[in-house]
Amino acid sequence: MADDNPHGNALPRSPLADLHRLVWTALMAALIGAGAYLIVPIGPVPVSMQPFFIFLAGYLLGPRHAVLAMGLYLLAGVIGLPVFAGGKSGLGYLLGPTGGYLIGFLGTALICGLARTREGGLPWLRGVLAGLAAVGLAYVTGAAWLKYVLTLTWTKAVAAGVLPFIPWDTLKVVVALACARHMVRLGLTPGRR
């Protein structure tokens, strides 16, 4: 069985290639956690660098391993490691106002991962469209949960949990895609799986 590298050449599947993929998955989970610490608190939902690393995980790892990286991050937070925004942890945080975004980020990672081609490439248009769809999914799940937890109207939930983030998240999608394309071009990442 062969895996495709970013340059389109078939690489033999080996324990070293599998280890490389697992190391990248763990690294992206750690970066997602680090991104949660880089925040600007502007209301019930802070602006953070976390989405940038989730987009990057999807673009670099492909759908399966990107979801695994996001899942590892969530598991670390639920079991008590202080990886959520502001150094918080626990199931209570996941059930709080930002929990819908965190759960939606699983789908975000998946959708961004689908931007990789079977050959391991990452076309601009496909990447941008996947990133914007991924952001949209996070907004829907996040705003719906925010509305429910804080008993807000839809208008207030969207005003507090979506509108302030659109320009920032659009920029994060473009920068994450540019970074991922550069890393893929250099052959630094595992192939799509």
Q: What is the structure's pLDDT at 139?
A: 97
In which element (H, E) is residue 21 found? helix 15-37
Q: What is the structure's pLDDT at 192?
A: 55
- Asked whether 146 and 97 are in contact (CB, 8 A), the reply is yes
pLDDT in tens, the chain (193 residues): 344 444 444 445 677 888 889 999 999 999 999 999 998 877 767 788 999 999 999 999 999 999 999 999 999 999 999 999 888 999 999 999 999 999 999 999 999 999 998 888 899 999 999 999 999 999 999 999 999 999 999 999 999 999 999 999 999 999 999 999 999 999 888 765 5
Select the CATH number that applies to the domain covering 23-186 from these four: 1.10.3720.10, 1.10.1760.20, 3.40.50.1000, 3.90.1150.10. 1.10.1760.20
Domain ranges of the chain: 23-186
Distance of CA 63 to the CA centre of its chain: 10
Mapped onto helix, strand or coil, the DSSP state of residue 10 is: strand
Read off the DSSP letter of residue 132: H
Q: What is the structure's pLDDT at 5?
A: 47
